[in-house]
Amino acid sequence: MAERPGDTKHISKGVSRGSGTRLNPLLRARQIKKEKKLSVLSKLCYAIGGAPNQVAGSASAFFLQIYLLDVAQITPLQTSLVLSVGKVWGGITDPIVGYFINKSKWTKIGRLMPWIIGCTPFLTVSYLFLWFAPPFLTGRVLWYLTFYCLFQALTTVFHVPYSTLTMFLSTDQKERDSATAYRMTVEVLGTLLGAAVQGQIVASAHISARCALNNETANFIENTTHVALGSHNSSLSQPLAYQLHAEKVYMIAAGIIGGVYLFCTAILFFGVTEKDDPYALNSDSIMPFFRGFKLTMKHGPYLNLTAAFLLISAAVQLEQSNFVLFCTHAADLGDHFQNLVLTILISAVLSVPFWQWFLQRFGKKSATFGISWMIPFAVLLVTIPNLIVAYLVAVTSGLSIAASLLLPWSMLPDVVDDFRLLNPQAKGLETIFYSSFVFFTRLSAGIALGISSLSLEFTGYSTGACKQPYHVAITLRVLIGAVPAALIIIGLLILIFYPISEEKRRENEHALNMIRYRPKRRPTLLG
């Protein structure tokens, strides 16, 4: 297992000795490299720890909106309220969680790990209740709003310390990039697993045969009411059977995903050791949260990266949340959506190693433009919505989604290192960077989802109906075509001005190593 935080002092002292003088520079470099090295097992355990959030996030991203509309049977306006408020609340909790983590003390298992372990049981329970249909209709919107907000908040408690943990695995940028690549590969696999479990289990709740049984039915709630009043019409009893079946299969999927949370978190706990980073001068003081927040918000590279990816993340969220609805109500692909979702995610999984090679070979900034690949194919799908085009779009979307997942988490440590070099006295601000980044991206996703659902409300989406109005189909085409394309283009234009090139990144790493491993470090006090 790796060293505890205090051991880093012995490293810095050891590398400065050698028969009364400094070690030969070549030997010193080899010793430093050995200390930074992460085992494949450690990287894999770290990566597995992030899978549950992606499994649950994938399931909710692709299926929560259609679940709320067609299974829970709340209106598009209420669905908009649940999705937007839940996402925004999750974003608000990010800096709050960052504040408390920033004030946390080191324990025997680290400063971040206790938060991850402590929230997991509650996170699992909140996820299960999110997919449970309560036996009442009037207050269902409050039920789903409560548990979606709770789920989003607990996801933040899990995700902020987990993502920040990247900075405390190793001081070597290549090792951190490698660990991030492992993490993204497993997280995309988790996204695939979430979509596969959810899609294959719940597909029977959305098959077109459901509507064939009663073409005149526009709303399942009305049918359910008639059956409850004692109607003996067998054609009306079928929608109720489908309704109960849909509720059951969604709960089965939720139970499986809940178990993934517990299993993967246990692997993370037993397989990863959290290490402190002696990048700063010796000081036991940690900068206060709000002072640190103001300082981080003035850091140009961070603002550039955040602004770009809050737009790109909103675009990807719109694609995911409306894709199943588009296949069902705008493209006559309702019987194929689960396989199309799997194709997207398999493509994403297979392309992560390619993107990792690409960013190492050509630089991270160049790799960001791979995200733009989804734009022409998404436009092609909304103009020619047939099955062959849909699978082609699924493959290219997977490539772009993989790039959009890998790159921000690979670039963010470089931004933090750049800040560390400019502010060596500002220790302990890593959680602020990560929590604020997640806050802004979730906020943008929440606003995008709210506008998306409201658009369906205004265009006449009928909850549970087999046939939607023409304007709903047009709106869905815009939501997965024109809007994401515009957001991605603006985000990429912002990234053109991202200032950390590969040369700058290497210079920062070298300069920080000089601070980490210099023979003597004088204590200082924060001003």
Task: Report whether 481 contacts 378 (CB < 8 A).
Answer: yes
Q: What CATH number did the domain enclosing 431 receive?
A: 1.20.1250.20
Beta bridge partners of 259: none
Q: CA 54, CA 63: separation in Å to the nearest integer?
A: 14
Residues 338 and 193 in one domain: no
pLDDT at 286: 61
Residue 179 shares a structural domain with residue 123: yes
Phi and psi at residue 338, in whole multiples of 5°? -65, -35
Are 112 and 196 found together in one domain? Answer: yes
Does residue 222 form part of some domain? no
Domain that includes residue 120, residue range: 38-209+241-275
Q: How far apart are CA 490 and CA 442, in angstroms?
A: 18
Residues 329 and 295 in one domain: yes
User: What is the total count of domains within the chain?
Assistant: 2
Secondary structure (3-state) at 398: helix
Whether 418 is covered by a domain: the verdict is yes
- Cα Rg, the chain, nearest whole Å: 25
Nearest residue to 443 via CA among 154, 148, 61, 85: 85
Q: Is residue 219 part of a domain?
A: no
The DSSP letter of residue 386 is: -
Residue pair 375/360 in contact by the 8 Å Cβ criterion: no
pLDDT at 490: 94
DSSP 317-338: HHHHHHHHHHHHHTSS-TTTHH
Q: Which of 255, 275, 295 is the last residue of a domain?
A: 275
- Where b means 16+ CB within 10 Å and e means fewer, 188-200 reads bbbbbbbbbbbbe
- Give 110's strand partners: 107
- Among the residues of 372-501, which ranges form H helices? 374-383, 387-422, 430-458, 470-480, 482-495
Cβ-Cβ contacts under 8 Å for 412 (sequence gap 6 or more): 305, 433, 434, 437
Q: How many CA atoms lie within 13 A of 138 on its CB side?
A: 0
Question: What single-letter DSSP state applies at residue 5?
Answer: T
- Based on the fold, state whether residues 82 and 204 are members of the same structural domain: yes
Enumerate residues 6+ apart whose C-beta is below 8 A from 485.
315, 375, 378, 379
Q: How far apart are CA 5 and CA 276, in angstroms?
A: 5
Residue 99 identity (one-letter amino acid) = Y
User: 191 and 54 in contact (C-beta within 8 Å)?
Assistant: yes
Name the pTM for this structure. Answer: 0.65
Residue 258's closest CA among 56, 401, 39? 56
Tell me which DSSP letter residue 269 carries: H
pLDDT tens across 341-399, in order?
A: 788 878 888 888 888 889 888 888 888 888 888 888 778 888 887 788 888 888 888 88
> How far apart, in Å, are the Cα atoms of 313 and each of 116, 332, 339, 443?
24, 27, 23, 10
Higher per-residue pLDDT: 211 or 405: 405
Give the tokens for residue 268. Answer: 């993370």
| Least confident residue range of 130-144, 188-202, 507-521 | 507-521
Residue 205 makes CB contacts below 8 A (sequence gap 6+) with 70, 71, 242, 245, 246, 249, 250
Position 368, amino acid? T
pLDDT computed for residue 24 by the predictor: 57
Whether the predicted pLDDT of 263 surpasses 60: yes
- Residue range 332-348, pLDDT digits in tens: 777 777 788 788 878 88
pLDDT digits (tens, 9 = 90+) for 103-142: 777 778 888 889 999 999 999 999 999 999 898 888 899 9
Domain boundary among 250, 275, 300: 275
* 109 within some domain: yes
In a domain, 214, yes or no: no
In three-state secondary structure terms, 232 is coil
pLDDT in tens, 298-330: 899 999 999 999 899 888 888 877 887 888 888
Other Cβ atoms closer than 10 A to 3:
14
- Name the domain boundary from 275, 295, 330: 275
CB 77, CB 436: distance < 8 Å: no
